[in-house]
Amino acid sequence: MTSIWWIRRDLRLTDNPALHAALAAGPVIPAFILDPAFSRASPRCKDFLYEGLHALDRDLRTRGSYLVIRSGKPGAVLAQLLTEAKADAIFTEEDFTPYARTRDQEVARNLPLQLIHGQTVHHPNTVLKKDGRPYTVFTSYAMAWKAKGLRGMNLLPAPQKIITPPGIPGGMLPKYRVNPLFPAGEAEALVRLEEFLHRRIYTYAEHRDRMDLDGTSALSPYLRFGMLGLRQAVSAARQAFFEARNEFHTRNAEAWLNELIWREFYIQILYHFPHVRKTAFHPSLANIPWRNDESEFEAWKEGRTGVPIVDAGMRQLREIGWMHNRARMITASYLVKDLLIDWRWGEAWFMENLLDGDPAANNGGWQWTAGTGTDAAPYFRIFNPVLQSTKFDPNGEYIRKWVPELRELDAKDIHAPWEKGIRVKGYPEKPIVERNKDRTLRAYQLAKEEIRT
């Protein structure tokens, strides 16, 4: 039986259960559909995807296969491809976002679609409380996730040979611009994983919050497009855990594993509570009276708020399409709590600009910061960006890198130059707003009162 392997967020050959299921049935046509729904993604994100498709095509060709590219609405494209290729089935990795689920339900109504689990370690329907309801608190979820064990998780090797019927027409692979900081593809993802496991994982917990250090894996864009599978990353974390030479190493490897579980936690939150895509997880915080000042939003996007650490994070995002996690928390908190701008505006801007922009992790991160989410920081906890900056970029290196106007300032002055009356040409004299904790708390309180009345 010939089948189509419909590739979406799994641009890899190693540990790909959907590909394996298709191969077990017979010859396979690897197909990627350029869905008009993806056309809103940023040019940088498209470049990353397109480069990943080129890499996948190369990997397929070394195994006797090739990638078929088609454009259009998936249902119609797949129906045509099935007829043309006289194929009998479509195998694809199950994707848990609301958009993907609706799309797949529609396709499955008319076509022989088989959804294969592979995007997460545990399916969102399998890590549940005793009463069958989903977890909404990370620590309990992580405990249940770990208790399920990983024994059954044997990684599938990349197939040596893939038989594909010759001559199936497809479009040209789209052109792309190379991003030297994040070259796309499975081979690159595996090299980066190896490199991270070799050493940095064992100092992860110590360094992960330092914005001036390369303390994290920077694997998120590869995980987003499945150039690396989450199961592979978890398996690597587990391996590092077993190979740890002392307790310090063990603690650090476990800290990285926990972050991977956060990823899976947010995937299941979006799966079980799709309303979070549009509104607050907690109904009591759905109607915060935001200020939504457009010019302040522009200043935030451009990295000219006058708060150096916020501007550094926002410029890192604009320039390379990635931002350090601590900087994401600081910039998001500044937008929501200090500028009182709707977290959904920030969520959309991040989604548009991040190479790793992921509906579940991004929404989870924003709702956590805004205090509206499942396991969120309490809404009355408001980050002080200057204290954060002093603590997690102690010498100001991260700021100097992304805000070159401030390069000459020393570590004492760089976090809050306005407090010392220091003026720097080309940089705002003072922050665009004076921080006002009471104003923030009032807005959140009003939302809560509205729900009670």
Q: Would you please indicate which residues are annotated as catalytic (active-site) residues?
A: 259, 262, 290, 325, 343, 366
CB 130 within 8 A of CB 156: no
Q: Which is nearer to ligand FAD, 78 or 354 (CB)?
A: 354
* Cα–Cα distance measured from residue 395 to residue 79, given in angstroms and rounded to the nearest whole number: 58
| DSSP structure string for 119-183 | SSSS-TTTSB-TTSPBP-SHHHHHHHHHHT-STT-PPPPPPS-----TT---PPPPP----TTS-
Strand partners, 70: 33
CB 48 within 8 A of CB 358: no
Provide, rounded to whole angstroms, the least separation between the CB of residue 350 and ligand FAD. Answer: 5
Figure out which of the listed residues 2, 119, 216, 232 binds ligand FAD, where binding follows CB under 6 A: 216
Tokens read off for 193: 């994983």
* Cα–Cα distance measured from residue 319 to residue 254, given in angstroms and rounded to the nearest whole number: 32
* Cα–Cα distance measured from residue 194 to residue 153, given in angstroms and rounded to the nearest whole number: 20
Q: How far is CA 118 from the centre of its chain?
A: 17
Segment contacting ligand FAD by CB under 6 A, of 98-106, 176-184, 210-218, 428-436: 210-218
Residue 90, SS3 per DSSP: strand
Q: At what angle do helices 294-302 and 343-353 cross, to 10 degrees?
A: 30
361 touches ligand FAD by CB under 6 A: yes
262 touches ligand FAD by CB under 6 A: yes
Provide, rounded to whole angstroms, the least separation between the CB of residue 236 and ligand FAD. Answer: 11
48 touches ligand FAD by CB under 6 A: no
Provide, rounded to whole angstroms, the least separation between the CB of residue 85 and ligand FAD. Answer: 35
Element (H, E) at 102: helix 98-110
| Stated length of the chain | 453
Figure out which of the listed residues 47, 57, 356, 375 binds ligand FAD, where binding follows CB under 6 A: 356
Figure out which of the listed residues 211, 354, 382, 399 binds ligand FAD, where binding follows CB under 6 A: 354
Provide, rounded to whole angstroms, the least separation between the CB of residue 224 and ligand FAD. Answer: 6
Provide, rounded to whole angstroms, the least separation between the CB of residue 250 and ligand FAD. Answer: 17
Q: b/e map of 175-204 (b: 16 or more CB within 10 Å)?
A: ebeebeebbbbbebbbebbeebbeebbbeb
Provide, rounded to whole angstroms, the least separation between the CB of residue 323 and ligand FAD. Answer: 7
Figure out which of the listed residues 365, 373, 428, 431 binds ligand FAD, where binding follows CB under 6 A: 365
Residue spans of alpha helices (H) in 343-382: 343-353, 359-370
Q: Which is nearer to ligand FAD, 82 or 317 (CB)?
A: 317
Amino acid at 350: F
Segment contacting ligand FAD by CB under 6 A, of 42-50, 159-167, 358-366, 404-412: 358-366
Segment contacting ligand FAD by CB under 6 A, of 171-179, 187-195, 308-316, 353-361: 353-361
* Cα–Cα distance measured from residue 181 to residue 184, given in angstroms and rounded to the nearest whole number: 10
Residues binding ligand FAD: number (CB under 6 A): 28
Residue 323, SS3 per DSSP: coil
Element (H, E) at 255: helix 247-272
118 touches ligand FAD by CB under 6 A: no
Subset of 290-349 contacting ligand FAD (CB under 6 A): 325, 328-329, 332
Taking phi over 0 as left and psi of -120 to 50 as alpha, with beta for the rest, 5 belongs to beta
Segment contacting ligand FAD by CB under 6 A, of 63-71, 241-249, 258-266, 301-309: 258-266
CB 317 within 8 A of CB 308: no
Figure out which of the listed residues 16, 120, 220, 353 binds ligand FAD, where binding follows CB under 6 A: 220
Element (H, E) at 116: strand 113-116
373 touches ligand FAD by CB under 6 A: no
Provide, rounded to whole angstroms, the least separation between the CB of residue 404 and ligand FAD. Answer: 23
Provide, rounded to whole angstroms, the least separation between the CB of residue 325 and ligand FAD. Answer: 3
Q: Which residue is nearest to ligand FAD, using beta carbons?
A: 365
364 touches ligand FAD by CB under 6 A: yes
Q: Which is nearer to ligand FAD, 74 or 357 (CB)?
A: 357
Q: Which is nearer to ligand FAD, 210 or 224 (CB)?
A: 224
Segment contacting ligand FAD by CB under 6 A, of 113-121, 145-153, 362-370, 445-453: 362-370
* Cα–Cα distance measured from residue 68 to residue 80, given in angstroms and rounded to the nearest whole number: 13
Figure out which of the listed residues 52, 229, 357, 385 binds ligand FAD, where binding follows CB under 6 A: 357
201 touches ligand FAD by CB under 6 A: no
Per CB under 6 A, residues contacting ligand FAD are: 208, 216-220, 223-224, 259-260, 262-263, 266, 325, 328-329, 332, 350, 354, 356-358, 361-362, 364-366, 369
